[in-house]
Each structure stands twice: as structure tokens, then as C-alpha cells.
């Protein structure tokens, strides 16, 4: 993936990439290495431990899906937690989440080493270091290239493991349960199973890795929740059934000491060719996990650097559009962990940080919903709020407790180090307070108004959906002029007078709603700066836009979210509370067009010129239907009876200065003003009749 001209990350990851990143991040050591360690502690009940762990991951998956569709930005869990709970907790979360990914990827490298020695006679740790360097370089080159490779690897792994499971289940059916190694099933009791659930939870830690690359996913509102749900379902089935086959196929004394248990089980079930494919699939799984892990983990230092919690250089984007410092530091940390710890220690430490991060993510949803920030508008909302989040937090606390004192001490130590770093380095470099201030605002705490605007911008970054009618919004827009030396109060008053007719509220109520929202975006053009106030209203289904222009400029005071700067145009967008995400996506699309068309908007001499500057790929034409005019035959006709050229549509009908709802049964009357939108190559020249099919 390449960066755009501004040096920002661009959206190039599709649903298949989301599924591959999430699934590939899970299907590695949790399946190919950990079953032997888990069975040694819980016996055959390790099968149940994997199933329970998958089910217990559901609340966190739902919360992460909600946050990802509201705040699709690089940094994943760190970004969510920093905006919800403030920079101090965000620093702890950033370090902790990054370290959990590093530990999980190091665990994958340990498993890879165990399988490599089955086919090559080399020093496994040295080879692991070479492979870490390779995947680090791959992620420097670009995330789309690495995500495409991920898709190939994951498809191969699922196919081979599917074969292994199907043959294994037939084997179980032929042997019968009584002759298998499943009896006794509970060798350590229920408490032993729950302790192993905490250990194997690391297997699902990769589920949420894709949230840290949300800024690079096309249409994250749909693709992230769906991709994560499908990934969790697939992974849970493969884990549970794969471990079941391994437990049945291998004697306990062999399974409990085997660091390549799936290969050993494959040798007992599949032909030699199949067992060889399992080794290759395992290596592919480990490779995909490390690849996805570096891609995701590298976005955490970048996001923290953006926010002033780490030096700015850490967030530098390379010419390939990737966070090069984050990628290299992540790869280096994985190498250090591989050299310093054994498999079980890494698994416990990784699980503890995964559980800590997911517990805080559930807390973030509680805080953001309670804050009632209007621009927090996720397109996916976790069901059964707040019970889902409380259950998720309780799961994290309980499983961390089950892991024992060493992981608990390690979590506390990292939290103290991160908090100390924030206190001595980051304090003063960031002024955000987090959404939690909005929750406590009624107690006299100061809320962070800039957070609302930032969330608006994050949601706007989703990009349009097919059903988002940006062209219609611009075509329906009203264009007004402000008098010389007018301030924003005068401009807002004029805009509110128009919007009040469309929304059905008094002008004063419309103005007050814009002031309360406070989500004002100042565009970066120096010659023709613009601002886009956004407000949400009850009881309306469509979005409305009023453009107010001023050649001398309109000053933006602090009460409106500005700092005294002057703008040449204001774009008042009235969105709907029914679908605020759509309104913010439309605002984001408007902002994108303003970056390139601001000067044309400022220099346009009429309404058509203003709208044409905001619709560079389409053409607008306005017609007044006079009885003696070229289009007089339309008088008395219904909209539905008018046959326009392909791609051309009537977007606005204004009668006596009032915009009407355009529908098929609307009858055209004399002196109606009609706005028509269509492709550049289809629309007739100005002064020609409407583009009607005779």
C-alpha cells in the first residue's frame, strides 16, 4: 500500500484482508504448539478450555467491533482507550497492547522453531531471527502486500487443517469414545480447566489485531465487525476440533511433552504426504501470525507518537506508506523475547496483557456511551449494552487471576513504567482529557470539546457507502451570501432560517444545536479557508446543507470552536440522529472535495459554480420552467413520467422559494426551479433544454 500525497495511510484492505489478518493472527501456536502444554495441565478437558476461551472472547469482539466502526484509526485499542480514558491510561494501554502483540508473535516464533527442526537440521533460533527480519522488511514495504500474502497463507492453513480434522473425526468414529484417550476427561477438575482457559486465551489474542489497521480498511463499518465475527467462529471450530483430534490420536505421555502435537497426530492419522502438508501449514500459520502481528503492533507506536506520548520520529511514515520505526522496533522486540523466554512463560505473559487490554476496551465502550458525545456514532453497536461490557470486564479480571502471580506482577510492572513515562515525558505534550471527562462533567470536571471534533473526523474517514447520496446533498444545498464584515452569528442566522423550514424547528433552536455540537472543521487552504459546522437533529431522515459565502471572510470565535481565524465559506450540515454515521461520512466527503476545490468555491460567481466545484465528476444544470420556455411541455407532468437520459436525475424542485420533496408523483408547475444532476459527458450545455428522451 502506498501513502497518499499527504503522507497519510490510505484505505486498501478489503473484507478478505480483514478476515485473513484476524484469522491468520490466531491460527498459529495456539493450535500447532499449545495443545500439548494445555493437555499436560488439564488433560482431555483442554478441548473444553479452547471452546470456553472462544466463547469468552465474544464480549471483547463485540466491543472492539463497535469502537472500530466509530473510530477507524491506526493504533487500535490504544487509540480507543486514550480517547475514552485519557492520555495516562492511553499510555499504559499503548505499551501494554503493543507488548501483548510482541509476546504473542514471539510465541508464534517459538512454535515455528519447533516445526522447522522437523524438516531442516539448523539452529532453530537463528533461523527464527532471520524470518523475523524477513517479515519486518515485508511490513516496511507495505500493508496491502503483506495482507495479500496473509490471505494466501490463511487459505492454505484452513484447507490442510480441515483435511486433518475431517480424517481425525472419522478416526474417532471408528475407534469409539471408550477406546480413545478422552477418559478420564476432567483430570484436574473444573478449576484446572479454568486455569487453562486463561493460558489458551492467547490463542484468540490475534482476533482484534485488525483494529489497529482500521485506518487502512475500506468501509470499516461493515468489514471489520463481519471479518472479526467470521474469524472468531472459524478459529473456535478449528481449535476445538483440532485439539480433540490431537487428544484422541496421541497417548497422554506423548502429547504432554510434544511441541509439535498436530504434526504427531497427523502422522498417526494421515498418509505421510498429509503429515508433510501439516508441517508446511504450521509454518505458514506461524508466518501469517508474525506477519499480521508486526503489521498490527507497528501501528501502536505510530499512533502514540501522533498524540505526543512518544517522540514524533517514532510515527514517521516511509515512502511505502508504512510506519517504519514502529515496524522495526516491533520486529526487534519479538527477537529479544524469543531469545529470553520459554514457550509457557511467553504464553502466560501474552494472555495476561491480551486480557488486560480487552477488559479496558469493554470499559472504553461504557465510558464513550455514557459520555453522550454526539459524534460517537458507531455503525455497529454491541448488543445487550451494558451487560456485555460488564461481563467482558469480569472475564478479564477472573482469567488474569487464574494465571497466577508472575503474569500479574509483570502487568503491574509494565503499567508502572508506562505511567512513569507519561508523567515525565508526555505530560504537557498532550492536552486531551478523554471522554471520561464528559461523563463527569456534571460533577464540575472540564470536558474536552476537541474530542467531539476528533471523533467526527475519524468517522468521516470511513469513506462513502454506495447508499450515501453525496451528489444529492450538494445538489439540494442552498447557497447564501453573507454581508460584508458579517460574523459567524449572522452567517448562522441566515443558514438557520433556511434549515428551519427543512427541519421544522425554530431558527434559534437550529443555531443552538450547532453551538452545542461544537464539531467545527477548519479546512487547511490558506487562500480560501472554509469551515464545516455539523449538528444532529431529531425527527429528520435526510441530511441538509446550507453554504454561506463571504468575500471578506467570516471570523470564527472560540465559542464556535475556532480561534479567531477567518473563512471565506461556511458549510452548515444538518445531520440526522437516526443515522449520524452517514452524516459524518458525507461531511468527510465534503472535506475531501474542499481540499481540492476550495479556491473554485470561493471564486464561483453563482450557485451552479459553487456546486460544480464540489462535484468535479458530475455536472449540475438549473432550469426555470416558464410557460413560454424551452421546457414548457413539462408543466403538469409528474416526475415519474419524465424520461431523462441514463445517469441523469432531478435532485431538487424549488417552488416559491421552498424546496420540495422530490418523488415520482410530484407534479411540475409553472415557474418551478429544477436542478438536474448527471455525468459530464451526458449533460447538455448551459441554455439547452432538459436532457429528456423523446
List the alpha helices (DSSP H) in 71-142.
Answer: 77-85, 87-116, 124-141
Q: What is the mean pLDDT of residues 599-609?
A: 75
Question: What's 15-424's CATH class?
Answer: mainly alpha
Q: Is the pLDDT of residue 443 over 50?
A: no
Q: What is the reported pLDDT for 5?
A: 43
Q: What share of the chain is helix, strand, coil (3-state, %, to 5)?
A: 60, 10, 25
| Sheet with 530-537, edge to edge strand ranges | 478-481, 544-555, 566-576, 530-537, 519-522
Instruction: Report the chain's terminal Cα–Cα distance, integer Å.
Output: 48
Sign for the CA dihedral angle at 114, 116, 122, 123 comes to: negative
Where exactly does CATH 3.40.930.10 map onto the chain?
463-614
Q: CA–CA separation, 98 vs 104, rounded Å?
A: 10
Asked if the model's pLDDT at residue 215 lies above 80, the reply is no
Indicate the CATH number for domain 463-614.
Answer: 3.40.930.10
Between vectors from CA 54 to CA 50 and to CA 55, what angle results, nearest 5°? Answer: 120
**Reported confidence tier of residue 527, pLDDT bands at 50, 70, 90:** low
In order of 494, 543, 692, the CA distances from 673 in angstroms are 21, 21, 16
Of these ranges, 295-299, 382-386, 610-614, the one predicted with the greatest mean pLDDT is: 382-386
User: What is the distance between the alpha carbons of residues 131 and 286, in angstroms, rounded to a whole number?
Assistant: 10
pLDDT value for 150:
66
Indicate whether 243 pLDDT > 80: yes
Whether the per-residue pLDDT at 58 is higher than 90: the answer is yes
| Contact of 586 with 543, CB cutoff 8 Å | yes
Res. 458 pLDDT band, cuts 50 70 90: low
What confidence category does residue 59 fall into, taking pLDDT thresholds of 50, 70 and 90? very high
Give the helix/strand (H/E) hosting 547.
Answer: strand 544-555
Percent share of the chain, pLDDT over 90? 9
**C-alpha of 207 from chain center:** 13
Q: What's the rounded mean pLDDT across residues 172-185?
A: 70
Q: So what's the pLDDT on residue 649?
A: 85
Confidence band for 651, pLDDT divided at 50, 70 and 90: confident
In this predicted structure, what is the pLDDT of residue 444? Answer: 39
Residue 498 to residues 223, 434, 480, 544, 575, Cα–Cα distance (Å): 38, 35, 10, 10, 14
Q: How large is the average pLDDT for residues 494-500? A: 89
pLDDT at 545: 92
pLDDT class for 52, splitting at 50, 70, 90?
Answer: very high
Residues of the chain within CATH 1.20.1740.10 domain(s) are 15-424
3-state secondary structure of 14: coil
Q: Which residue has the higher pLDDT, 571 or 176?
A: 571
C-alpha cell at 659: 424546496
Report pLDDT for 442.
Answer: 43
Phi, psi of 498 (to 5 degrees): -75, -45
Q: Which CATH superfamily is domain 618-679 in?
A: Regulator of K+ conductance, C-terminal domain (3.30.70.1450)
Is 3 a residue whose pLDDT tops 50?
no
Residue-wise burial string across 91-130, b where 16 or more C-beta atoms lie within 10 A, e elsewhere = bbbbbbbbbbbbbbbbbbbbbbbbbbeeeeeeebeebbbe
Q: Are 475 and 542 spatial neighbours (Cβ–Cβ below 8 Å)?
A: no
pLDDT band at 515 (very low <50, low <70, confident <90, very high): confident
Q: How far apart are CA 328 and CA 139, in angstroms?
A: 9
Q: Which of 213, 210, 204, 205 is nearest to 226 (CA)?
A: 210
**Where residue 296 falls among pLDDT bands split at 50, 70, 90?**
confident
Residue with the larger pLDDT of the pair 319 and 419 = 419
Query: How far, rounded to the nearest angstrom, does the alpha carbon of residue 112 sit from its chain's CA centroid?
Result: 30
pLDDT category of residue 237 using cuts at 50, 70 and 90: very high
Cα distances (Å, whole numbers) of residue 636 to 180, 407, 671, 688: 83, 78, 12, 21
Residue 455 pLDDT level (bands cut at 50, 70, 90): low
Mean pLDDT check: name the lowest of 219-228, 535-544, 625-634: 219-228
Chain-centroid distance of CA 391 in Å reads: 23
Q: What is the pLDDT of residue 2?
A: 41
Q: What is the mean pLDDT of the chain?
A: 79
Give the per-residue pLDDT at 454: 57
Q: Which three cell numbers stand for residue 522?
A: 477548519
Average pLDDT over every residue of 675-684? 84
> Start-end ranges of CATH 3.30.70.1450 in the chain?
618-679
Contact between residue 543 and residue 473 where contact means Cβ atoms under 8 Å apart:
yes
Residue 561 pLDDT level (bands cut at 50, 70, 90): low
User: For residue range 591-600, what is the model confidence (pLDDT) as tens digits?
Assistant: 777 776 667 7
CB 594 within 8 A of CB 531: no
Q: Answer yes or no: is pLDDT of 646 > 50.
A: yes
- SS in 3 state form for 409-440? HHHHHHHHHHHHHHHHHHECCECCCCCHHHHC
Residue 214 binned pLDDT confidence (cut-offs 50, 70, 90): low
In terms of pLDDT, which residue wins out, 633 or 302? 633
Q: What confidence score (pLDDT) does residue 7 get?
A: 43
More confident residue, 77 or 584: 584
Higher pLDDT, residue 487 or 54: 54
How far apart are alpha carbons 419 and 425 in whole angstroms? 10
Percent of all residues in the chain with a pLDDT value above 70, rounded to a whole number? 83
Please tell me the predicted confidence (pLDDT) of residue 6. 44
What pLDDT shows up at residue 50? 93
Burial tier of 398 (Cβ tally within 10 Å: 0-12, 13-18, 19+) = middle
pLDDT value of position 419: 86
Q: How confident is the model at residue 428 (pLDDT cuts 50, 70, 90)?
A: low
Mean pLDDT of 48-56: 93
Amino acid at each position: 500500500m502506498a501513502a497518499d500525497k499527504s503522507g497519510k495511510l490510505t484505505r486498501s484492505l478489503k473484507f478478505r484482508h480483514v478476515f485473513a489478518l484476524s484469522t491468520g493472527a490466531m491460527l498459529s501456536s495456539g493450535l500447532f504448539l499449545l495443545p500439548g502444554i494445555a493437555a499436560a495441565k488439564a488433560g482431555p478437558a483442554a478441548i473444553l478450555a479452547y471452546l470456553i476461551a472462544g466463547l469468552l472472547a465474544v464480549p471483547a469482539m463485540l466491543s472492539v467491533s463497535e469502537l472500530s466502526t466509530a473510530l477507524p484509526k491506526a493504533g487500535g485499542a490504544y487509540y480507543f482507550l486514550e480517547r475514552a480514558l485519557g492520555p495516562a491510561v492511553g499510555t499504559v494501554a499503548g505499551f501494554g497492547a503493543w507488548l501483548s502483540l510482541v509476546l504473542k508473535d514471539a510465541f508464534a516464533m517459538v512454535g515455528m522453531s519447533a516445526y522447522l527442526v522437523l524438516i531442516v537440521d539448523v539452529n532453530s533460533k537463528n533461523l527464527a531471527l532471520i524470518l523475523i527480519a524477513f517479515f519486518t522488511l515485508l511490513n516496511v514495504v507495505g500493508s496491502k502486500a503483506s495482507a495479500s500474502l496473509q490471505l494466501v497463507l490463511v487459505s492454505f492453513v484452513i484447507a490442510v487443517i480441515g483435511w486433518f480434522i475431517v480424517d481425525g473425526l472419522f478416526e474417532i468414529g471408528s475407534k469409539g469414545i471408550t477406546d480413545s484417550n478422552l477418559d478420564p476427561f476432567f483430570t484436574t477438575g473444573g478449576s484446572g480447566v479454568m486455569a487453562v482457559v486463561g493460558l489458551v486465551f492467547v490463542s484468540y489474542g490475534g482476533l482484534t489485531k485488525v483494529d489497529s489497521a482500521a485506518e487502512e480498511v475500506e468501509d470499516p463499518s461493515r468489514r471489520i465487525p463481519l471479518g472479526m465475527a467470521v474469524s472468531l467462529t472459524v478459529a473456535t471450530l478449528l481449535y476445538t476440533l483440532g485439539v480433540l483430534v490431537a487428544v484422541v490420536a496421541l497417548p497422554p505421555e506423548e502429547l504432554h511433552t510434544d511441541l509439535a502435537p498436530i504434526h504427531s497426530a497427523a502422522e498417526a492419522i494421515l498418509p505421510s504426504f498429509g503429515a508433510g502438508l501439516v508441517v508446511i501449514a504450521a509454518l505458514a500459520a506461524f508466518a501469517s501470525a508474525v506477519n499480521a502481528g508486526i503489521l498490527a503492533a507497528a501501528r501502536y507506536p505510530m499512533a502514540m507518537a501522533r498524540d505526543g506520548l512518544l517522540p514524533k520520529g517514532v510515527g514517521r511514515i516511509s515512502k511505502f506508506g508504512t510506519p517504519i520505526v514502529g515496524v522495526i522496533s516491533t520486529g526487534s522486540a519479538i527477537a529479544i523475547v524469543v531469545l529470553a523466554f520459554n514457550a509457557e512463560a511467553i504464553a502466560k505473559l501474552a494472555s495476561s496483557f491480551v486480557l488486560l487490554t480487552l477488559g479496558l476496551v469493554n470499559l472504553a465502550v461504557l465510558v464513550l456511551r455514557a459520555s453522550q458525545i454526539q459524534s460517537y456514532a458507531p455503525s455497529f453497536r454491541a448488543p445487550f449494552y451494558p451487560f456485555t461490557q460488564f461481563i467482558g470486564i469480569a472475564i478479564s479480571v477472573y482469567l488474569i487471576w487464574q494465571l497466577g502471580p508472575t503474569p500479574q506482577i509483570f502487568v503491574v510492572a509494565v503499567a508502572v513504567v508506562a505511567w512513569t513515562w507519561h508523567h515525565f515525558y508526555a505530560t504537557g505534550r498532550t492536552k486531551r482529557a478523554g471522554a471520561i471527562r464528559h461523563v463527569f462533567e456534571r460533577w464540575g470536571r472540564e470536558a474536552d470539546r476537541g474530542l467531539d471534533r476528533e471523533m467526527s473526523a475519524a468517522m468521516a474517514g470511513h469513506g462513502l457507502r454506495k447508499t450515501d447520496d453525496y451528489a444529492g446533498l450538494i445538489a439540494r444545498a442552498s447557497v447564501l451570501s453573507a454581508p460584508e464584515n458579517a460574523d459567524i452569528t449572522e452567517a448562522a442566522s441566515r443558514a438557520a432560517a433556511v434549515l428551519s423550514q427543512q427541519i421544522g424547528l425554530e431558527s434559534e433552536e437550529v443555531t443552538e444545536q450547532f453551538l452545542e455540537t461544537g464539531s467545527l472543521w477548519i479546512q487547511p487552504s490558506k487562500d480560501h479557508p472554509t469551515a464545516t459546522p455539523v449538528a444532529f437533529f431529531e425527527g429528520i431522515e435526510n441530511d441538509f446543507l446550507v453554504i454561506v459565502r463571504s468575500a471578506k471572510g467570516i471570523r470564527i470565535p472560540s465559542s464556535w470552536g475556532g480561534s479567531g481565524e477567518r473563512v471565506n465559506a461556511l458549510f452548515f450540515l444538518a445531520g440526522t440522529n437516526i443515522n449520524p454515521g452517514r452524516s459524518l461520512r458525507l461531511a468527510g466527503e465534503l472535506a475531501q472535495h474542499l481540499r481540492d476545490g476550495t479556491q473554485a468555491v470561493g471564486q464561483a460567481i453563482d450557485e451552479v459554480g459553487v456546486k460544480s466545484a464540489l462535484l468535479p465528476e458530475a455536472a449540475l444544470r438549473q432550469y426555470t420552467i416558464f410557460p413560454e420556455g424551452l421546457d414548457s411541455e413539462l408543466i403538469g407532468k409528474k416526475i415519474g413520467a419524465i424520461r431523462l437520459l441514463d445517469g441523469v436525475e432531478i435532485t431538487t424542485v424549488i417552488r416559491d422559494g421552498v424546496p420540495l420533496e422530490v418523488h415520482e408523483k410530484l407534479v411540475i408547475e409553472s415557474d418551478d426551479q429544477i436542478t438536474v444532476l448527471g455525468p459530464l459527458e451526458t449533460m447538455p450545455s448551459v441554455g439547452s433544454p432538459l436532457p429528456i428522451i423523446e
